[in-house]
Structure 1
Amino acid sequence: MHPALFLLLLCPATPHRRRALLPVALLVWLLRAVPALGQQAPARPVPPSPDFSLEQCLQYALSNQPLIRQARLDEQTNEADIRIGLAGWLPQVNLTGNAQHYFQLPFTVFPNEQGQQVPRQIGLRNTSTFSLAGTQALYNNEVWLALRSARPSRVLYRQITQTAQTNVVADVSKAFFDVLLSQRQLGVYQADITRLQRALKDARARYDAGVSDKIDFKQAEISLNTSLAARKQVAESIKAKTAFLKQLMGLPNEQALQLRYDTLRLEQDALADTTLGVNPTNRLEYQQLQTEKALQAAQIGYYRWAFLPALSAYGNYNTVFQNNEFSRLYSRRFPSSFAGVQLALPVFTGTRRLQNLRRARLLDERLDEDLVATRNLITTEYEQALATYKGYFADYQLGKRNLALSQEVYDVVNLQYREGIKPYLDVLVAQTTLRTAQLNYYVALFQVLSSKVDLQRARGELPINY
């Protein structure tokens, strides 16, 4: 039970005692509520499992990336600004009160019976006034601008948030593929080291048996050391790339991160339709400029119609208390009330309105030029992204074929070496070729995936809903 309620229940049923304890109970309630107010901000969710697929990485980033959180806060701030501007359409009501005491009553000059001007003191020494005044805007150019700008302003900030989401999706996807590439490279080097260790052991045994000279196992040892050094470099790079991915996701650095993926699905995802064109209106950059033109149109309308008068209605209710004795000041009141309509017409503003109107129209023309430049830029970006994707996809297809051929060559040469037909140098060359083919294949695969992200982004089709 709440302590304030418990305090009221324990007090006697006497009404005046309960009224006396009511402020105390309210104070207790406020003291308990204040700490709770500081704990309203929810903590960022931490996934229970460290395994992340690409979709889960994007979901987490879209919820926790600081840039996206800032963009959403900007949306809320803009909404507050809109409501502040639209508040001018609502009635504005003010209540004022004052009390004053005259040590000397003011003098007023009145004519007497002879027509002479004689000063006289009038009024009462104690006066208190309460006034309730209200105004209602019927037409005002300022609040009309706020009304016309509300919708495009909301759209603009929503587009800014979507732009931030698009950037995060693109960056997180590329970083995800970059980490996967290093992990696959690490696997290639690990498999290569296993083969070299086995080859080194066989070459050493052949040398000890007098079948071959020491050149074979020396070459095997050199290749093994080279692969060990390369594996160490790749293993260290994975740590740095994983930290960068965590930063892009907004994931705490102490949180474990293990990537989960399906190679077959990645190969399927690498395919993209290159016959589609590009529509600049799908790009958020172009849409933002169109929204800015809508806001600029509202600004032009504001200056164009700024010569119109502002019309408002007002009302006032006053209550005056007067008495020479302060203890009886509020014993009698003298009310008064009135209502009216006010018209304010700007007669001459030093051509400021015309200059502002001219400036607003020039800014609108500049936005038109921005639209043309952005359309050309989008077309260029698309052509570059398309060319890059096609080039990487061709490398990927050749790399996949070379990988299959290199594996077949290595298997045959290794078998022939074991049968004494081929020298160890041929095995070493085939093994190096296989390792290079594997590395080239994975590099090409993840380059295709990254370039597909750029291609989708250039088209304005990169999904941001996960």
Structure 2
Amino acid sequence: MEDGTILRRKRRDVFLTAVFAALALWGASAGMSHAFTLDEALTQALASHPQVRAAEEDLRARKALERSSLSPYAPSVDLAGSMAKISRGPIDDRRDLWSLGAEYLLFDGGARFADWSAARLQLARAQEALRSARLDVIRDVSVAFFLVLARSRIVAERTLQVEDARKDMEIAEGRYRLGVAMKSDVLQASVRYEEALYEKSSAEGDLSTAQATLRSLVGRPLDSVEEPEGSLEPLGTLKGREGLLALTEERPEVRQARLDVALAESQVQKTRSPFLPKVTADATYTSNDGTGYYGGAEDEKRVGLTASWNLFRLDKFSNRQAALAQLQAAKDRLAEALRQGRLECYNRYDRALTARRNVDLARSVLVQAEHNYRQALGEYRVGKGDVLSLVRAESALGAARVRLQESLGNWNVTLAELQRAVGLERLDELLKTE
């Protein structure tokens, strides 16, 4: 009995291989067929996806702004010149003036340091935004890839189902011609055959939609043919839940929230600046030249130190209160980001466990459905069974085949979603290799 089961499974595998080969040849005839792995799809998507490219440009801008924030630490140098014609009664005099000055901020109460710190934090935040964009694209591409893979196998299973339904219909027709079956048997089998064709057509439509989504994500033309290459079979077991929950504290959303807290703290420090004096040093060289009254003017050299201290300005009190409130709000948002990250990881982990169990259950159901169909087919051939039992058994077998492929697809999709919830870029970091 076991040898017979193994033989039937081998025949089924050979048939599915032939179907996959036919699909690949059909794609090749369309002119743009290309088999690619998940890693290749991710590489293409990360290099071309607009969301990632926009985050990269934002990062470049933040790097420039971070360099710009160092400007108050360098002296300011100005060159100015003027030429004027001045009338004094009947006499017109000319005055030429040009000056070269330098100014350096010695102390401003910490405002420039706060601005520099804020620029650095914004740069780090842009880096986390880029990481978040990459993780989003990795998740979207992975989900689309696994859906295409699963739906291509569902099309193959639906094709096999059509063959089984056609075989049942031919057996019913043969028995009817021999006079040992009723016309209703042929009609029942024919209806089931048409249903199988309908289900196959629907599966092909779902596959086409999934392929278009995948092509769009990897930056390919929507009318090209993409043939994913990979396995849906589980390659290992999930790592412990607590270890993955701990990793959520390094999700880009959480790190951005921490940076927001630090940014709010720097703004609080900046609001101290108006309460402190501001000290500036400056040096100027002025050249005078002209005619008449201004002909004998001498050049000037000036070195000075300026200090100013605001005694009262209403907005500096309000600004400090606002900064303190924003700091508390940033801390609350950090707590919420941590909560959401842990909850999402916890729920995604449960869904992944359920999906993994469903794969095993779907395999068991498929074994029973295969046995039931073989039993019903044998009984109908020898006249001991009715066509309704055969049709139901064949329909249940087709559903079990599809359910297994759907379960395998769901398992991989839940892994991709769990990967994003944890904040990892590689899928194998979730699994313990068996």
When normalised by structure 2's length, the TM-score is: 0.81
> Given the alignment, which residue of 111, 117, 120 partners 1:142?
111
CA shift at 1:49, angstroms?
7.0
Q: Which residue of 2 aligns with 1:177?
A: 146
Worse-matched range after superposition: 270-279 or 160-169? 270-279
Q: Which residue of 2 aligns with 1:83?
A: 67
Say if 2:375 is the partner of 1:392. Answer: no
Equivalent residues of 2:277, 2:310 under 8 A apart: no
Q: What is the alpha-carbon distance in structure 2 between the residues aligned to residue 148 and residue 75 of structure 1?
A: 16
Equivalent residues of 1:129, 1:321 under 8 A apart: yes
Q: Which letter maps to 2:88?
A: L
Say if 2:52 is the partner of 1:68. Answer: yes
Equivalent residues of 2:101, 2:282 under 8 A apart: yes
CA shift at 1:321, angstroms?
3.0
Query: For each residue in 1:93-113, what CA deviation from the matched residue of structure 2 results, as whole angstroms up to 9, or x when unmatched?
Result: 2222222333x2379xxxxxx
> Given the alignment, which residue of 197, 200, 203 partners 1:234?
203
Q: Which residue of 1 aligns with 2:42?
A: 58
Say if 2:275 is the partner of 1:307. Answer: yes
Q: Which letter maps to 2:312?
A: T
Worse-matched range after superposition: 301-310 or 57-66? 301-310
Q: Which letter maps to 1:79?
A: K
Are residues 193 and 465 of structure 1, via their aligned partners in 2, closer, same or farther at CA, if it must alter by over 3 Å? Answer: closer
Q: What is the alpha-carbon distance in structure 2 between the residues aligned to residue 203 and residue 312 of structure 1?
A: 101
Matches within 5 A, 1:291-330: 291-323=259-291
Are residues 448 and 247 of structure 1, via their aligned partners in 2, closer, same or farther at CA, if it must alter by over 3 Å? Answer: same
Equivalent residues of 1:315, 1:337 under 8 A apart: no
Other structure's SS at 1:132 match? strand
Matches within 5 A, 1:111-260: 125-140=93-108, 141-260=110-229
Q: Which residue of 2 aligns with 1:272?
A: 238
Q: Which residue of 2 aligns with 1:93?
A: 77
Gaps of 5+ in 1: 1-47, 108-120
Query: For each residue in 1:208-244, what CA deviation from the matched residue of structure 2 results, as whole angstroms up to 9, or x when unmatched?
Result: 2334332332222111111111222222222222222
- Matched residue pairs, number? 394
Other structure's SS at 2:233 match? helix
Percent of aligned pairs with the same amino acid: 21
CA shift at 1:191, angstroms?
0.9
Equivalent residues of 1:270, 1:449 under 8 A apart: no
Are residues 391 and 128 of structure 1, via their aligned partners in 2, closer, same or farther at CA, if it must alter by over 3 Å? Answer: same
> Given the alignment, which residue of 395, 407, 414 partners 1:432?
395
Higher relative contact order (CA 8 A, sep 6+): 2
Say if 2:212 is the partner of 1:282. Answer: no
Q: What is the alpha-carbon distance in structure 2 between the residues aligned to residue 335 and residue 465 of structure 1?
A: 79
Equivalent residues of 1:186, 1:231 under 8 A apart: yes
Are residues 349 and 81 of structure 1, via their aligned partners in 2, closer, same or farther at CA, if it must alter by over 3 Å? Answer: farther
Q: What is the alpha-carbon distance in structure 1 between the residues aligned to residue 363 and residue 220 of structure 2?
A: 35
Other structure's SS at 1:147 match? helix
Equivalent residues of 2:48, 2:219 under 8 A apart: yes
Gaps of 5+ in 2: 1-31, 430-434
Q: Which letter maps to 1:219?
A: Q
Other structure's SS at 2:179 match? coil
Q: What is the alpha-carbon distance in structure 2 between the residues aligned to residue 215 and residue 465 of structure 1?
A: 54
Worse-matched range after superposition: 416-425 or 175-184? 416-425
Are residues 303 and 138 of structure 1, via their aligned partners in 2, closer, same or farther at CA, if it must alter by over 3 Å? Answer: same
CA shift at 1:162, angstroms?
1.1
Q: What is the alpha-carbon distance in structure 2 between the residues aligned to residue 460 and residue 166 of structure 1?
A: 7
Equivalent residues of 2:274, 2:310 under 8 A apart: no
CA shift at 1:192, angstroms?
0.9
Other structure's SS at 2:415 match? helix
The structure whose Rg is larger is 1
Q: What is the alpha-carbon distance in structure 1 between the residues aligned to residue 253 and residue 279 of structure 2?
A: 40
CA shift at 1:376, angstroms?
2.7
Q: Which letter maps to 1:312?
A: T
Q: Which residue of 1 aligns with 2:301?
A: 338
Are residues 400 and 273 of structure 1, via their aligned partners in 2, closer, same or farther at CA, if it must alter by over 3 Å? Answer: farther
When normalised by structure 1's length, the TM-score is: 0.76
Say if 2:346 is the partner of 1:363. Answer: no
Equivalent residues of 2:212, 2:223 under 8 A apart: no
Other structure's SS at 1:138 match? strand
Q: What is the alpha-carbon distance in structure 2 between the residues aligned to residue 190 and residue 146 of structure 1?
A: 65
Equivalent residues of 1:453, 1:462 under 8 A apart: no
Worse-matched range after superposition: 409-418 or 129-138? 409-418
Q: What is the alpha-carbon distance in structure 2 between the residues aligned to residue 310 and residue 237 of structure 1?
A: 68
Worse-matched range after superposition: 221-230 or 231-240? 231-240
Equivalent residues of 1:97, 1:131 under 8 A apart: yes
Q: Which letter maps to 1:358?
A: Q
Query: For each residue in 1:376-409, what CA deviation from the matched residue of structure 2 results, as whole angstroms up to 9, or x when unmatched?
Result: 3333223322222222222211001222232243
Matches within 5 A, 1:364-379: 364-379=327-342
